[in-house]
Amino acid sequence: MKWVNLFRVLCAGFVSLWAWSVSADDLAANRTWNSIGGTPGGGQYSALDQINRANVAGLKIAWTHKNGDAAKFTAGGKTANYEVTPILAEGSLFICTQYGRVISLDPKTGNEKWAFDPFASLIKAPAVPGTCRGVAYWRDELVQSDAAPRACQSRIFLQQYGGRLIVLDAKTGQPCTDFGTGGFLDMASPDHGGTGHIRFTSPPSILKDTVIVAGSVGDNIRANQPDGVIRAFDARTGMMQWRLVTIPEAMSDKTGNADVWPPYAIDAERNLVFIPTGSPSPDFYGALRNDPIPYANALLAIDASSGQVKWHFQFVHHDILDYDTPAQPIVADITREGRKVPAVIQITKMGTVFVFNRETGESLFPIEERAAPASDIPGEVASPTQPRPVKPEPFSSQLIKEDEIFGLTFWDRGKCRESFKSMRYDGPFTPPSLKGSLTFPASTGGGNWGGAAYDPVRNRLIVKAQNLAFTSQLFPIGDPNIPNVPETAGSRVMEGTTYYLLLGRWLSPFGVPCNPPPWGELVAIDLDTGDQAWRRPVGQVPFGPFKLLKSPAAWGSPIVGGPMLTGGGLIFMAATFDPVLRAYDTDTGKELWSTPLPVPAMAVPMTYEYEGRQYVLIAAGGSILAGTELSDQLLAFALPVGASR
C-alpha cells in the first residue's frame, strides 16, 4: 500500500507539472484561461476558435456583472480603475474588485456564487481602493483523487493592494486558516528597508506548490523607498521558502524600489520564474544612487526552488526616466532562423522588444550599446550608453522632428513649436533638466501593462504601442518658480533630495498632444525575422474643446490595457480612451467587429469555453487617466445560441 500511495503522489506531481509546463511549450494548444496571461507563462492566447473571422460580426452580449465597488468612491476621495482579467478554474470565474474583494461567478450567467470581503472579517483596517488586475489559482495535487473533498484543496490567492497575500477556498470563498495567520500574510511590515508602503496590483505566480510574490512601491515619493523584495511561500502553509532583494545591501539606505508591478511568467519544465523589475527611487533623479543596481529595470530568471538568479538582463542603466519593465514576460517556443527556440519575450516602455533564450539568457537578436545623452543636473551621472536591440525594430515612435509637431490649428501648432524650442530634447533617453526636458517615449510607454500577446501559429508578437511625449523639469527646493499645482506622483518634492519634480503630458493649449499622431497603434512583429508584418492606428478619442466629436481614425488613441488572441484568427482589444471593444484580423490587422461599452475598458480581455459555448470577457471600469466616468462592469460576449459556428 505504501508503494501504491507513493506511485499516486508521483503521478499527481507529474500531472500537475505537465498541466503547468504544457502552457509554456505548447501554447498553440492552450484552451484554458487559468492564469492572468492565459497560461502561467503568459502570452494572452487561446486556441479556442468557435468565434472566428467568419462569424465574429454576430457576437452579442451574453451577460453582464456589476461588482458595486464604483459606488463606494466618495467625492474628492481616492479612486481606482477596474482592470481585472478574470480566470476560469473548476467551473467558476474568479475576479477581484477595486476594494480588494474576491468574487466567484457562474461562467454561463455571470451570477455570483460567492463573494469575500477581507475588510469585513479578516483584515482589521479601513478598506482602501486600489487597482487589482487578477487572482491566482492553485490545486493541491498531493491529495489522492479518490479521497473525500476537503476544505481549501483548491485555493484562490489574492495579492491585496494593501500589501497582503490572502488565500481563500476556491469552492466557498472562506479563508484558508491553515495558511499564514488565519488565511493571510502581511507584507506591509517594514522588512524592506526604506520608508513607505508595499502595494500589489498583479496576482502572484504559482509553480508546483510554491507561491511567488513580488510587490510594487509608489513612484517619485522619496529617495529611500522600500527595497524591491521577491519572496516564495509554501502554497499550503505560507511558510517562506526564500527571499530575494533587488537593491544591493550597500545601497539600501540610499535608494529603494527596483520593484515589480506587472505579472510574472513561469517555465515549469525548467523550474524558472521570470520577474520584470522597475526603476530605483526616486525615478527621475539618480545622483544619490550612482553605484550599479544590476537587478533594477531588468528581467530576472530565478530558480523557483532556491531563489537564485540564473541570469538577468538590464534594459536601462541608471534609470532616471521611470522606464520600469512594464508588462508580463512571455514564455513561448518561437521559431527563429528555421528552428524552435525556448524563448522569453519582454517589451519595454521604450517601445523595444527583447527576445532571449530562456535557458541561457542569450539574446536571439543582436543588441547594441548606443550612446545616450549626458545629464546637466549637478552630481547626476547618466549612463553614457543604453542597450538597444537591432531587431525587432521599435514598435512605438522614437523621434520627434520640429517640422512634424502637431496641432489642430496653425496657432496651437505654433505654441507647441515654441514649447519644443524652449526645452531640452536630444532624442531617446533625454534626461530631466532644470530648463525642462522632452521625453519620448514617455514613462507611460511605448509599451505598458498588458501590452503584448504571442501568436504561436503565426510566430508573431502582437503589441500595442502608445506614442505620447511627456515633459519633465527639476526645480531646486525653494525656487520661487516652482508651479503651484496639486501634488501628484509626477509633481512633488522628492523627499530626501533637494529637488521638486514637475512631470506632465506635452499638450497644446487645446489639450491635444503636441507630438504627431497616431497616438495609439497595434503592431504585428514576425519573431523569425524581427520585421513588422503590419501596423495600424487603434481607437478614436475626443480631445480638448472637441469633446462631442470623434477624432479621425488615423489619429488613434492613448492605450492602457492590451490585446488577447484566439485560434479563430482574431485579436480582441479595448484599452483605448473611447468606450469600444474591437476585434481585428490577426493576419492583416483589419477591424472586423466592434461594440460600444458603457465606459472605456482599461483591461486585457480573456476567453473561455463553457458547456460548448465560447465567451469573450472584458472589464469596463473607465479611466482615471482619461478623466472618464468610473464603473465596475464585466461584460461577456458570445454568439447567439443556435447560431452558425
Task: Report, as residue numbers or ranges, the catalytic residues.
Answer: 322
Q: What is the dihedral of CA 550, 555, 557, 562, to 10 degrees?
A: 130
Asked if residue 568 is part of any domain, the answer here is yes
| 141 vs 626, more confident | 141
396 CB-side CA count, 13 A: 32
User: Can you tell me the distance from the alpha carbon of 364 to that of 354, in angstroms, rounded to the nearest whole number?
Assistant: 8
What percentage of residues in the chain have a pLDDT greater than 90?
A: 81
Longest distance between any two alpha carbons in the chain, whole Å: 86
Q: Where are the alpha helices (DSSP H) in 99-247?
A: 118-121
Residue 619 binned pLDDT confidence (cut-offs 50, 70, 90): very high
Q: Is the pLDDT of residue 335 over 70?
A: yes
Q: What is the pLDDT of residues 46-103, one digit of tens each?
A: 999 999 999 999 999 999 999 999 999 988 888 999 999 999 999 999 999 999 999 9
* Total number of domains constituting the chain: 1
The three cell numbers locating residue 489? 506622483
pLDDT at 18: 38
Residue 15 binned pLDDT confidence (cut-offs 50, 70, 90): very low
pLDDT at 454: 98
Neighbours of 432 (CB within 10 A): 28
Asked if residue 644 is part of any domain, the answer here is no
The pTM for the full model equals 0.94
Asked if residue 530 is part of any domain, the answer here is yes
pLDDT (average), residues 409-419: 96
Peptide bond into 392 cis (omega under 30): yes
- Indicate which CATH number applies to the domain containing 377: 2.140.10.10
Residue 270 binned pLDDT confidence (cut-offs 50, 70, 90): very high
Q: Is the pLDDT of residue 3 over 60?
A: no
Asked if residue 643 is part of any domain, the answer here is no
| 642 vs 500, more confident | 500
Burial of 575 (0-12, 13-18, 19+ CB in 10 A): buried
Q: Is the pLDDT of residue 429 over 60?
A: yes
pLDDT at 644: 59
pLDDT at 22: 42
| 573 vs 217, more confident | 573
pLDDT (average), residues 579-584: 97
Give the chain's mean pLDDT. Answer: 91
The answer to whether 405 and 413 have CB atoms below 8 angstroms apart is yes
| 218 vs 295, more confident | 295
Q: Is the pLDDT of residue 354 over 80?
A: yes
Structural domain for 532, as ranges: 2-638
pLDDT (average), residues 620-631: 89
Q: Is the pLDDT of residue 549 over 50?
A: yes
pLDDT at 190: 54
Asked if residue 560 is part of any domain, the answer here is yes
Asked if residue 645 is part of any domain, the answer here is no
pLDDT at 413: 96
pLDDT at 266: 97
| 256 vs 198, more confident | 256
Asked if residue 368 is part of any domain, the answer here is yes
pLDDT at 545: 52
Asked if residue 234 is part of any domain, the answer here is yes
**428-to-374, 377, 470 alpha-carbon distances in Å:** 12, 18, 12
Residue 17 binned pLDDT confidence (cut-offs 50, 70, 90): very low
Q: Is the pLDDT of residue 214 over 90?
A: yes
pLDDT at 19: 41
pLDDT (average), residues 494-520: 94
Q: Is the pLDDT of residue 628 over 60?
A: yes
Q: What is the pLDDT of residues 139-162, one digit of tens each?
A: 998 876 656 678 899 999 999 887
pLDDT at 4: 36
Closest CA to 210 of 241, 182, 180: 241
**634-to-76, 135, 410, 644 alpha-carbon distances in Å:** 25, 15, 43, 26
